[in-house]
């Protein structure tokens, strides 16, 4: 099997994306995760650009990476001074990495109008910078910045840029679609031309996603002869991002038969994607191919029925190969197969209750007509299914609650909730304040129940969403509240619907707490 070298730029280019800022600790942890994934090269940053990157290269030396080589990134030497005296090149050497990547301009427009130097001087800087680094570093990669735009504008000069890098001793010539505007057919044709001219040097591809075809461009480049692919986890990067390694890796490995990582490493792809999202403090893109939570989710009843008989009918790969999992969604489009599959997941016997199965299906469609949505609230659906089967347990009963909102003269807004609940034969009456009426109600309910159920202290409200229906009714519109909760081990979603936002929130909150108590009870029985 032919192999492709993977080069990850998440720690540098990924951190240049809007709203992303990795700490030093984040960068070190991501490096370890990428090493476990089997990525061959990890671009750690630009030494000398900021203290964080300087510290990163110092700290990473104490790590024993099993699969990856950390790479320092920088530019060619500046014009007007001897290459051996260039600060940027010396900063790269100070990083003490086994590999270095430098970029140089491959588009004559940039040389004339941005660098404002003669075209020949740019070629000299590229050749001499690489030759200088090769005296001290095992591997030097050359990123030919704006190569594809440069080739289309002036193919002869773009070819001279690569030739200069080759004479300097570059180990890989990386062709960059820096503006991200090329199409796969252009990339493939240009790579084939370059491959004929520089058949003795490894050719690489570096694509941006401004035309939404960065992954396709990388795959087309590999088909044309590239054996080195650069990208980032989740496609993070400036503007619209870089080529997404989470799509590139499985496409190369599973669709094109090219060796990138081993099978066990590939199974860690989904976890790696979510890990990087977590450290970037970004919610995962649920519809992301291969690694998104919706990538193998099935909603329509016909689809579910088919996929349960033969997964390949609606799944292009087995989700387990990339560490993902098949999911069956519950919605108004659900059929009998959806309900039965969810029952099996919940370890409930519904197949022997044929009338109940049809009743649940009708109830589901009616509830969604009212505004309920169970795709993101499977905990609420499981509780309803248990009640229908007569296997639910009441952990507490509401006697009553009151929520008071008071605005004082100093403009401070106070929210207070008073609640009375019955647990077995005991009545608990308590009050709590909060940042708003829902938060106050949540605090009061927990305060009342934690005396009886101490594990509720582990529950955290992770997300709270409100959707308004029938907007023509104005402030009297029906609303849907979706709540995501979690403890040390799991996350779950619950839902409530009402014309009153407090009532809708109450439904979602009580389902969340009930589900937690049910989960604890089931865990104890295992």
Rounded-to-integer distance, Cα 511 and Cα 227, Å: 53
Higher pLDDT, 222 or 467: 222
Please give the residue range of the domain that contains residue 422: 396-452
- Model confidence at 494: pLDDT above 90: yes
Q: What is the pTM of this model?
A: 0.72
> 221, exposed or middle or buried, with CB in 10 Å at 0-12, 13-18, 19+?
buried
What does each C-alpha distance from 9 to 72, 253, 322, 368 come to in angstroms?
10, 20, 21, 44
Residue 45 sits in a domain whose CATH number is 3.20.20.70
Same domain as 181, residue 49: yes
- Model confidence at 474: pLDDT above 60: no
Which DSSP string do the residues of 429-460 spell out, in sequence order?
A: EEEEEESSHHHHHHHHHHHHHTTT-GGGGG-E
Stretch 16-32: mean pLDDT, rounded?
Answer: 93
Listed residues 261, 293, 308: the one ending a domain: 261
Domain count, the chain: 3
CA nearest 340: which of 320, 360, 311, 369? 360
Same domain as 371, residue 423: no
174-185 pLDDT, tens digit each: 999 999 999 999
452-465 pLDDT, tens digit each: 999 999 998 888 88
Reported for 301-309, long-range contacts at CB under 8 A and 24+ positions apart, including other chains, are 301/333, 301/334, 301/335, 301/336, 301/337, 301/338, 302/335, 304/328, 304/334, 304/335, 304/337, 304/338, 304/341, 305/335, 305/336, 305/337, 308/337, 308/341
Same domain as 102, residue 224: yes
Structure tokens at 162: 């690569």
pLDDT averaged over the chain?
90
**At 470, is the pLDDT very low, low, confident or very high (cuts 50, 70, 90)?**
low
Same domain as 43, residue 79: yes
Measure CA 374 to chain center.
23
Same domain as 194, residue 230: yes
In a domain, 317, yes or no: no
Stretch 415-437: mean pLDDT, rounded?
Answer: 94
Same domain as 172, residue 113: yes
Same domain as 434, residue 375: no
User: In this predicted structure, what is the pLDDT of residue 343?
Assistant: 72
- Over the Cα atoms of the chain, what is R_g? 29
- Model confidence at 142: pLDDT above 80: yes
- Model confidence at 154: pLDDT above 90: yes
Least reliable range by pLDDT among 75-89, 102-116, 352-366, 446-460: 352-366
Same domain as 110, residue 17: yes
Same domain as 180, residue 127: yes
- Model confidence at 337: pLDDT above 70: no
CA nearest 40: which of 227, 256, 301, 314? 227
Same domain as 462, residue 442: no
């Amino acid at each position: 099997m032919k192999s492709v070298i993977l080069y990850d730029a998440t720690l540098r280019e990924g951190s240049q994306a809007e709203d992303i800022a990795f700490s030093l600790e984040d960068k070190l942890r991501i490096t370890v995760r990428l090493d476990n994934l089997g990525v061959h090269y990890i671009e750690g940053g630009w030494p000398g650009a900021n203290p964080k990157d300087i510290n990163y290269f110092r700290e990473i030396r104490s790590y024993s990476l099993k699969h990856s080589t950390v790479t320092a990134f920088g530019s060619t030497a500046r014009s007007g001074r001897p290459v051996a005296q260039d600060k940027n090149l010396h900063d790269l050497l100070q990083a003490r990495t086994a590999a270095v990547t430098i970029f140089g301009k491959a588009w004559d427009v940039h040389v004339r109008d941005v660098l404002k130097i003669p075209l020949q001087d740019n070629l000299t800087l590229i050749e001499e910078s690489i030759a200088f680094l090769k005296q001290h570093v095992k591997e030097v990669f050359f990123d030919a910045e704006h190569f594809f735009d440069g080739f289309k504008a002036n193919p002869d000069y773009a070819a001279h840029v690569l030739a200069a890098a080759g004479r300097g001793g570059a180990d890989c010539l990386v062709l960059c679609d820096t503006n991200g505007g090329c199409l796969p057919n252009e990339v493939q044709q240009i790579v084939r031309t370059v491959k004929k001219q520089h058949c003795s040097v490894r050719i690489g591809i570096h694509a941006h996603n401004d035309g939404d075809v960065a992954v396709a461009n990388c795959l087309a480049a590999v088909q044309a002869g590239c054996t080195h692919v650069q990208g980032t986890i989740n496609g993070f990067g400036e503007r619209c991002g870089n080529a997404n390694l989470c799509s590139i890796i499985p496409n190369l490995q599973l669709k094109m038969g090219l060796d990138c990582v081993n099978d066990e490493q590939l199974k860690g792809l989904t976890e790696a994607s979510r890990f990087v999202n977590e450290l970037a403090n970004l919610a995962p893109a649920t519809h992301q191919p291969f690694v998104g939570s919706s990538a193998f989710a099935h909603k329509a009843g016909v689809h579910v029925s088919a996929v349960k008989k033969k997964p390949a009918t609606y799944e292009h790969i087995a989700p387990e190969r990339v560490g993902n999992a098949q999911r069956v969604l519950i919605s108004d489009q659900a059929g009998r197969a959806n309900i039965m599959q969810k029952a099996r997941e919940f370890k409930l016997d519904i197949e022997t209750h044929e009338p109940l199965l049809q009743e649940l299906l009708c109830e589901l469609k009616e509830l969604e007509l009212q505004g309920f949505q169970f795709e993101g609230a499977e905990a609420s659906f499981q509780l309803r299914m248990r009640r229908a089967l007569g296997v639910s347990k009441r952990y507490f009963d509401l006697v009553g609650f009151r929520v008071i909102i008071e605005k004082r003269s100093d403009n401070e807004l106070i929210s207070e909730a008073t609640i009375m609940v019955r647990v077995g034969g005991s009545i608990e009456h308590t009050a709590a304040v909060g940042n708003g009426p829902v938060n106050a109600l949540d605090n009061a309910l927990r305060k009342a129940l934690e005396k009886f159920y101490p594990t509720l202290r582990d529950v955290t409200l992770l997300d709270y969403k409100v959707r308004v229906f029938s907007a023509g009714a104005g402030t009297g519109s029906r609303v849907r509240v979706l709540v995501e909760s979690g403890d040390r081990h799991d996350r779950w979603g619950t839902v409530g619907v009402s014309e009153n936002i407090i009532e809708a929130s109450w439904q979602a909150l009580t389902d969340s707490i009930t589900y937690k108590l049910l989960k604890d009870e089931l865990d104890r029985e295992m």
